Chain A
Amino acid sequence: MVKAEIGRRRGAETLALLLLVIFLKPFSNLFLAWGMKQGPQALSLNPLFYVKAMFEPLVALGIAMQILWLLFRMKLLSLADLSFVLPVTAVGYVLTTVLGRIFLHEQVSTERWIAVLLIFLGTALVGSTQRAGVDSGVDR
C-alpha cells in the first residue's frame, strides 16, 4: 500500500518534471536565438561579446529558463534512465522548429521538416523500447 503510494507519487513527479523539461528547453532556445539575433549577425570570436550578450533581456530570460531546465532535468535523471529521458523529451526538437518558424519567421524547407520528422520518429522509436528506471511508475 505504502509502496504503491510512493510509486504513484514518483510517477506524478516524473510526469510533471517531464512536461517542464519538454517545454522549458524549446522556449529558452527561442529566447536565446531571438536575443542573439538582435545584435550583429556575424560570428564573434571575442568572449566579451558573449558575456555582454548575457545581459540582453531576451538572452537573460533564455539563460534563466536554461538554469531551471537544467535543475529539473537533473532531478528527472535521478528518477528515470537517460535512455527514457532522451527520447521522451525529443519532441522538443519539433517544438523548437515550430517556434523558430512562427516567432523568428525562419524559412523551414520541406527537406528540413522531413529531417525533423525523421529525428522525432527515431527518438520516439528508441523511447518505445525500454521502461523508465528506478520505479518511476511511468508506463509507456
Chain B
Amino acid sequence: MKWLLLGIVVVTTVLADLLQSREMKIAAAEKGDQFGFGPLLKAIGTRPRLILAIACLAVSFFAFLALVQTQPLSFAVPASAATFVIETVLARLVLNEQVDARRAAGALLVLGGIVLLGR
C-alpha cells in the first residue's frame, strides 16, 4: 500500500509542477514586473491549467497524509524525491530545458538514493 500511495504522490506532484512551471512563466511574461501576489492569485483562479495543478497538489497532499500516517517521515519525504528524476526528464521533453551529462548523473544519484531508501 505504501508504494501505491507513494506512486500517487509522485505522479500528481510531477503533473502539478510541470503545469505550474509552464503557466507561471506565461503569466509572468504577460504581466512583466507587475506580477505580484495579487495577479498570482488571479492567475490561480482564472487559468484552467493552474486549477488542474492545484487539484493535482490536493490529491498529492491527501496521499502524502495517508503515507506519513503509517510510514516514517524520513522515508516518505526522501522517497517522494522520485519526482525529481521524472521532472528532470519531462523538463527536457515538455519544457525544452537542457539536460546534459552532469544533470543525468545527478538524476541517477537521486535514483540510487531512492532505491537505497526502499530496501
Within 8 A of B (CB), among A58-73: 59, 66, 70-71, 73
Within 8 A of B (CB), among A2-60: 6, 26, 29-30, 32-33, 36-37, 39, 41-44, 47, 50, 53, 59
> Is B12 an interface position by the 8 A CB rule?
no
- Measured CB to CB, the nearest residue on chain B to A127 is B106
What are the residues of chain B within 8 A of A37 when measuring CB–CB? 68-69
Cβ B81 vs Cβ A130 within 8 A: no
Cβ B40 vs Cβ A71 within 8 A: yes
Cβ A82 vs Cβ B75 within 8 A: no
Interface size counted on chain B using CB atoms at 8 A: 56
- Measured CB to CB, the nearest residue on chain B to A53 is B65
A117 to B110, CA, bound (A): 9
Cβ A70 vs Cβ B57 within 8 A: yes
| Given A29-B68, A83-B91, A106-B73: A77 touches B78 (CB 8 Å cut-off) | no
Contact of A125 among B78, B106, B114 (CB under 8 A): B106
Contact of A50 among B65, B110, B113 (CB under 8 A): B65
A59 to B89, CA, bound (A): 33
Cβ A43 vs Cβ B28 within 8 A: no
> Is A138 an interface position by the 8 A CB rule?
no
A133 to B9, CA, bound (A): 27
B107 to chain A, nearest CB (A): 6
What are the residues of chain A within 8 A of B76 when measuring CB–CB? 33
Cβ B106 vs Cβ A126 within 8 A: yes
A-B contact pairs, 8 of them (CB 8 A): A77-B21, A96-B74, A99-B73, A117-B113, A122-B106, A126-B88, A130-B103, A133-B25
* The 4 nearest A-B residue pairs measured at CB: A122-B109, A126-B106, A118-B113, A125-B106
